[in-house]
């Protein structure tokens, strides 16, 4: 069986099935929805960081752009949710196109410039002078299109598409070319790989993933403030989850979300007073002892992680 098909059947299918059945068995649907959101965002980080090496500290900018793209389409154009979803994805894509010059930067410079760009978008969106367009800092209410059950299903579909994209990248020549670029861009060019095109495509795919996720998030919660969808902790979570599991793998980000978001919610409920302490120690331990994620732990023992 080709590996693409095998990983689709063994990883993607069970994941989607479990999340489709979960609402019937577990009452906290918001938590389940957030799991889907972070699974998708962590895979989005995986696409851009795992396959090209760019670590976008401002990744939430695309998420927020998607949420506002969705909201503005609903508020001003009275668009149907599924149409508004496309508008959200488009908004994130446009932001991605606008930010492609950042790809000229490398390492921390890229990360910081991307963070600044996300903050700039937040400042524009939450500007009181734009109240007639974005409602400024006063937040958005989309009660007219509120439909959490359908939004949950759409979010799951976006997760499935994103995970499939990662599976494809893992096994396609394009994904292999991206990993070559990540290792050494000059050597990749010397192997005939179009470095610029590869980076831009990965960047825009990651932007689109976050934009669609932001859109469906706006739809699901339907009432939010600029800080809700541009919050820096969304980026941090997505990055930490992806890195904890191991990037450039299919399973890594999934494991990261299940384990760390699980612990996050468990501590948050059982010992909220120690929450930040425990979580901080966990992340420090991760950086010190497992910089390449759980996948590297297994790989060191000769186990190939899909």
Partner 1 sequence: MKAETLLAADGLEAGYGGVQVLWGVDIAVLERETVVLLGANGAGKTTLLKTLLGLVPAWRGAISFLGEDVTRWRTDRRVRRGLVYMSEMAVFAGMTIEENIGIGGQSLSRSALRRRTAELYDIFPALGERKRALAASLSGGQRKMLGIAKALAADPRLLIMDEPSSGLSPLFVKEVIHVLARFRARGLTLLIAEQNIKFLKLADRVYTLDGGRIGFAGTVAAMHENDALRRAYFGLR
| Minimum gap (Å) between residue 70 Cβ and partner 1 | 38
Give exposure, 105-123, as e/b (b: 16+ Cβ within 10 Å).
Answer: eeeeebbebbbebbeebbe
Binding of residue 4 to partner 1 (CB under 8 A)? no
Binding of residue 193 to partner 1 (CB under 8 A)? yes
Q: Bridge-partner residues for 223, per DSSP?
A: 141
- According to CB under 8 A, which one of 4, 105, 161, 189 is a site residue for partner 1? 189
Nearer to partner 1, 79 or 196 (CB): 196
Binding of residue 298 to partner 1 (CB under 8 A)? no
Q: Bridge-partner residues for 299, per DSSP?
A: none
| Minimum gap (Å) between residue 177 Cβ and partner 1 | 6
Nearer to partner 1, 53 or 61 (CB): 53
Binding of residue 187 to partner 1 (CB under 8 A)? yes
| Minimum gap (Å) between residue 207 Cβ and partner 1 | 24
Minimal CA–CA distance to 18: which of 26, 6, 30, 28? Answer: 26
Nearer to partner 1, 122 or 180 (CB): 180
| Minimum gap (Å) between residue 300 Cβ and partner 1 | 12
Binding of residue 194 to partner 1 (CB under 8 A)? yes
Binding of residue 195 to partner 1 (CB under 8 A)? yes
> CA 235 to CA 251: how far, in whole Å?
19
Helix (H) or strand (E) holding 25: helix 13-25
- According to CB under 8 A, which one of 191, 223, 281, 284 is a site residue for partner 1? 191
Q: What DSSP state is assigned to residue 166?
A: H
> Do residues 206 and 45 lie in contact, with contact meaning Cβ atoms separated by under 8 Å?
yes
Nearer to partner 1, 194 or 227 (CB): 194
> Do residues 210 and 41 lie in contact, with contact meaning Cβ atoms separated by under 8 Å?
yes
> CA 47 to CA 42: how far, in whole Å?
9
Give the range of 123-131, 134-142, 179-187, 282-290 binding partner 1 by CB under 8 A. 179-187
Instruction: Please enumerate in sequence order all residues whose Cβ is within 8 A of that of 240, keeping only pairs 6 or more positions apart, or say none.
Output: 256, 260, 283, 286
- According to CB under 8 A, which one of 138, 184, 227, 274 is a site residue for partner 1? 184
Give the range of 20-28, 181-189, 228-236, 275-283 binding partner 1 by CB under 8 A. 181-189
Kindly report the number of other CB atoms within 10 A of residue 14's CB atom: 10
Instruction: Please enumerate in sequence order all residues whose Cβ is within 8 A of that of 1, keeping only pairs 6 or more positions apart, or say none.
Output: none
* HSE-CB of 222 using CA atoms within 13 angstroms: 14
Nearer to partner 1, 8 or 292 (CB): 292
Binding of residue 176 to partner 1 (CB under 8 A)? yes
Residues that bind partner 1 (CB under 8 A): 173, 176-177, 179-180, 183-184, 186-196
């Amino acid at each position: 069986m080709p590996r693409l098909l095998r990983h689709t059947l063994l990883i993607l299918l069970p994941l989607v099935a479990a999340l489709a059945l979960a609402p019937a068995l577990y009452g906290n649907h918001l938590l389940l929805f957030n799991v889907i959101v972070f699974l998708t965002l962590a895979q989005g980080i995986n696409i851009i960081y795992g396959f090209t090496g760019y670590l976008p500290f401002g990744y939430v900018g695309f998420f927020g752009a998607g949420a506002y793209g969705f909201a503005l389409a609903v508020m001003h154009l009275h668009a149907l949710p599924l149409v508004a979803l496309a508008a959200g994805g488009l908004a994130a894509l446009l932001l991605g196109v606008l930010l492609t010059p950042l790809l000229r930067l490398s390492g921390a410079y890229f990360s910081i410039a991307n963070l600044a760009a996300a903050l700039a978008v937040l400042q524009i969106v939450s500007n009181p002078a734009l109240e007639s367009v974005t409602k400024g800092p006063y937040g958005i209410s989309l009660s007219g299109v509120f439909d959490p059950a359908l939004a949950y299903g759409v979010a799951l579909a976006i997760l499935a598409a994103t995970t499939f994209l990662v599976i494809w990248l893992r096994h396609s020549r394009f994904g292999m070319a991206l990993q070559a670029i990540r290792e050494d861009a000059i050597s990749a060019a010397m192997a005939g790989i179009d470095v610029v095109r590869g980076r831009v495509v990965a960047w825009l795919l990651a932007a689109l993933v976050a934009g669609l996720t932001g859109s469906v998030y706006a739809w699901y919660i339907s009432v939010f403030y600029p800080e809700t969808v541009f919050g820096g902790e969304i980026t941090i979570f997505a990055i930490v989850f992806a890195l904890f599991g191991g990037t450039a793998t299919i399973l890594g980000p999934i494991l990261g979300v299940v384990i760390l978001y699980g612990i996050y919610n468990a501590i948050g409920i059982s010992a909220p007073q120690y929450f930040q302490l425990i979580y901080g120690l966990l992340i420090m331990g991760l950086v010190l002892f497992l910089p390449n994620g759980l996948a590297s732990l297994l790989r060191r023992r000769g186990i190939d992680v899909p």
